[in-house]
Chain A
Amino acid sequence: MDASPAMAVTDLRKVYGDRAAVDGLTLTVPRGCFFGFLGPNGAGKTTTIKMLIGLSTPTSGAVEILGLAMPAQAVEIRRRIGLVPDESLLFDHLTGAEFLEFVGRMYELPAAQARQRGRELLALFQLDGKDRKLIGEYSKGMRKRVAMAASLIHRPQLFLMDEPFEGVDAVGARLMKDLLLDQVRNGATVFLTSHVLDVVERLCDRVAIIHEGKLVVEGPIDELRTGAESLEEIFVRLVGAERVTETLDWL
C-alpha cells in the first residue's frame, strides 16, 4: 500500500483582493482516517475543498492528494476521489438513475455497468421506485442521498464531502454514516465538513478547526478534549463565539 498520506496540504493560501480566505493552512490527513474539517460560516472550508479538488487555484502553497500533486495531476486525482457534490452540481432535469449513470460514465465505467451500479445505489439509498421523478422534484434530503450515491459509484479511495448530512432525515443520515464507516474500515479516507458537531464527534478520528482562514487546532478528537468538554464546547471556545445575551425588545 502507498505510504503517502491521503492528503497533505502545505502552507495553502487563497487571497481574494486584500482578504485571505485561506491563510497558510498546513494539514496532513492519514489514509484510512475519518477526518472532520470544522469552522464557522465563512471560515474558508468550502474554499479549501475547492482548492483540494482543483476547482480553485491556490494563491500559494502545495496540495498533494493520495500521493499525487494538484493541479499537475488533477485528472488522475479526480479519478480517485469521491466528491459529494454541492446540490447545485446536480442536474435537475435528469432522474436519479440517469444522473448516477451519467456520473458512472464520467468515471469511465462502461455504460451497462454504470447503469447497473446506479440502480443498486438507488436501491441502497431507498430512492428506487421513483424512476420517473426528476432530481429537480426531489426533496433536499433526497438530493443529498443521490449526491452521496454519486460519490460512491466508482469506488473512490478518498471522499471529500461538504456538509453531507445537511437536510437528511434520521434514517438517511444513519444509512450514510454506516456506509462511510464501512468505507473507512475498508481503507478509504473520509474528509468532511459539517456543522453538526455531535455527528462529527461520533464519526471522526481526527478534526481540524479553521477560523478566518487559519488553522486553529488539529489532532485526534480525544486529545483535543480537556476533561468532559464536548466538541461543541471546544469549537465555541476556539473560534471565540460568545453567547448572545441581548434580546430585541419587540421580540
Chain B
Amino acid sequence: MNRQLLAILWAQWRTLRNYYLRAHMGGVAFSVLMGVLWYGMWTAGAFGASILLVTGEQRFLSRAVPFGLLMAFLYWQLFPLLMGSAGAFLDIRRLLVYPVPHGQLFSVEVLLRFSTGVEMMLILTGAAVGLWRNPIVPAWAPLALIPFILFNLFLSVGVKQILTRMFERKVFRELSMLLFVAAVALPQVLASTGVPEPLQRAFGSFVGVYALLPWGAAGNLAAGAPSALGITALLGWTAFAWRFGRRHFERSLRLDDAPPRPVPPSSGTASGRAGRLYCLPSLLFRDPLAALMEREVRTLFRSPRFRLILLLGCTLGQLVWLPQSFGKYGSPSGVIATNYLTLSSLYALLLLGDNLFWNSFGFDRSAAQLYFVTPVRLATVLVAKNAVAVFFVLLETTVITLLCLVLRLPITGEGTVEAYLVTMTYTLFMLSVGNLASVYQPRPISPAHAWRSSSPGKVQASLLLLYPALSLPLLLAYGARYAFDSQLAFYAVLLVDMGIGAVVYWVALDSILEAAEGRKEAMLAALSHSEGPMSAG
C-alpha cells in the first residue's frame, strides 16, 4: 500500500489509541459493551442468512437473494441519512495541504465507506458463506457479491458528498432533506397503501428491467443463474458508481466555502420576528437564566445541523409511522394507530437526543470555559440548557399534533394530552442521564456540519440499551392501563413517574455539578479537541 495512505491509517490509529487511553474508563466500557451488543446482533443475523441460504432451493434463492441485496442497498445508502450520520470519512481540509494524489485520497474514502455498512458486510458475508455451502449453487457464484459491495461503496462516496454539499446551502438544505425524506418513505407508503393500478401497469411493463438493476443482476449471479446481460449490467453499474463517486469526491476537494456574510440589520422582517422569539425567555425568567436560555435558543436555531434534526423529527416520524398505522395493512384501532401521536412524538424526541440531551455542551465547544470563569453557577447553565431542551421537545410535539390535524388523522384530545405527558416524563429521565453523559463524555460538535452525528455509535447504543431502559417508567404506566383496564390507573402511574423523574433530575443534578467541578479541565480539553485525519460523523 502507498506510504501516504499507510501514514494516514497510522495517524488515525494513534489518534484513537491516544483518545481511548485518556478517556473515562466507564465510557469506554459502555461503548465496547454497546458495540458488542450491536454487532453481535448483526452477526446473529448473518448466521441466520447463512442457514437460510445453505438449504434454499433455486426458486427460493432467485427471489430471496435479489430482495436481500435490495434491502442491503437501502440500508447502506439510506440508513446513515435516517440516523443523521455520515459514518467515517477523511478530513479533507487537513489532508489536502500534503502532496497526496487525489486518486489515493479517493481510495481511502472508499474504504472508509465500510463504516456505514459494517452491518451489511456482516450479513453479506453470512449470505456468501450460505450460498457457497449450498450444493445447488456453483462455488464461483458468491463472488458476484464483490462487485455489488464495490458498487455500494462507490455510490456511498458520491451520495455522501452530494448530501454534504446540499446540506451546506441554506433553505436548499431544508428542502433537500424534505425531498430525501419523502423519497425514503415512498416505498413504504406504496407498500402500505398498495400500489395504484396505473403505477402497477407501468411497473409491470418493466419487470424485465429488474434483473438488470444492481441488486437484481448481482442477486441472480450470486444465486447461480448467470447471464451475459446480468454480468454486463453488474459491471456497468459498478463502473457507473465508481465514476459517480470519483466525480463527486473530486468536487468535494474544492474547499471554496463562502466566507460568512455580514448579518443584515433587522427591520421588522423575519430576523426581527426571530429576535423577538429569542427574547421570550426574558419575559418569563430573570437573568442570568434568561440570558443563558436566549443564547441557547439562538445557538440551536442558527445551527444548520440542529434545524435539520428538528425538521427530521417533525416529518420523518410521520412518514415512518403513518403508513404503518393508517395504510392498507394498518388498523385504525391497532396499537400503533391509537398511540400514533405519542409514538411520533417519542421518535422525534429520540432524534433530538444527541444534541439536546447526551452532549449538551457539544455546540459550545471551547467556549464552554465561559461557564467556569463567569460568576454564574453551573447549575443555572444546566437548568437553562435543560429548559430549552424541554421547549424544543414541546415545540416538536406541537408541530406533530398540528400536522396530524392538517392530515385529518383521528387523534383525540385525550390522546394529545397523553402524548404531551408521556413525552415530558420521558424527557425528565433523558435529562437526568443526559446531563451525566454531557459532563462525562463531552464531544465538540460543529454547528455548521448539518449532516454529522457527533457519535453515531452512541446513537445506536442508546437505541439499544439506554432508551428502552429509560422507557421502563412509561411501560409501567401502560402496564397499569392494561392490567386495570383503566385510564385513571395509567395517568396515576404516569404522574408518579413524573414525580420520580423530577426527584431523580434534581438529585442527579447535584452529583453532576460535583462531577463537573472535578472534571472541569478534562471537559474543556475534550470540547476543544479536533479529530484525527479521519472524522466520524
Tell me the smallest distance from the CB of A237 to a CB of chain B, in Å.
27
Given A53-B97, A78-B97, A107-B99, A102 and B255 touching (CB < 8 A)?
A: no
CA distance A95 to B19 in the complex (A): 11
CA distance A104 to B15 in the complex (A): 17
Per-residue CB contact flags for chain B residues 1-21 toward chain A (1 = under 8 Å, else 0) read 001101110110011101100
Looking at B308-316, B327-335, B466-474, B523-531, the stretch in contact with chain A turns out to be: B523-531
Looking at A1-9, A85-93, A200-208, A223-231, the stretch in contact with chain B turns out to be: A85-93
Say whether B4 contacts A105, CB under 8 Å.
Answer: yes
Residue from the set B94, B99, B101 with the largest chain A CB neighbour count within 10 Å: B99
Looking at B206-214, B256-264, B350-358, the stretch in contact with chain A turns out to be: B256-264
Does B402 count as interface, using CB distance less than 8 angstroms?
no
CB-defined contacts of B531 to chain A, threshold 8 Å: 91-93
Which residue of A17, A76, A83, A94 contacts B15 across the interface (Cβ within 8 Å)? A94
Does B503 count as interface, using CB distance less than 8 angstroms?
no
A→B interface (CB under 8 Å)? 16-17, 21, 47, 50, 53-57, 75-79, 83, 85, 88-95, 98-99, 102-103, 105-108, 110-111, 134, 136-137
CA distance A137 to B99 in the complex (A): 28
CA distance A22 to B93 in the complex (A): 21
Given A16-B258, A17-B258, A56-B256, A91 and B525 touching (CB < 8 A)?
A: no
CB-defined contacts of B8 to chain A, threshold 8 Å: 106
Does B96 count as interface, using CB distance less than 8 angstroms?
yes
Tell me the smallest distance from the CB of A37 to a CB of chain B, in Å.
18
Say whether A93 contacts B18, CB under 8 Å.
Answer: yes
Residues of B512-537 contacting chain A, CB below 8 A: 525, 528-533
CB-defined contacts of A92 to chain B, threshold 8 Å: 528-531
CB-defined contacts of A105 to chain B, threshold 8 Å: 3-4, 6-7, 10
Residues of B290-308 contacting chain A, CB below 8 A: none
Tell me the smallest distance from the CB of B234 to a CB of chain A, in Å.
34
Say whether A21 contacts B259, CB under 8 Å.
Answer: yes
Say whether A55 contacts B11, CB under 8 Å.
Answer: no
Given A89-B94, A105-B4, A79 and B258 touching (CB < 8 A)?
A: no
CA distance A91 to B256 in the complex (A): 22
Given A78-B97, A94-B18, A102-B11, A108 and B3 touching (CB < 8 A)?
A: yes
CB-defined contacts of A107 to chain B, threshold 8 Å: 98-99
CB-defined contacts of B16 to chain A, threshold 8 Å: 93
CB-defined contacts of A79 to chain B, threshold 8 Å: 99
Residues of B1-49 contacting chain A, CB below 8 A: 3-4, 6-8, 10-11, 14-16, 18-19, 22
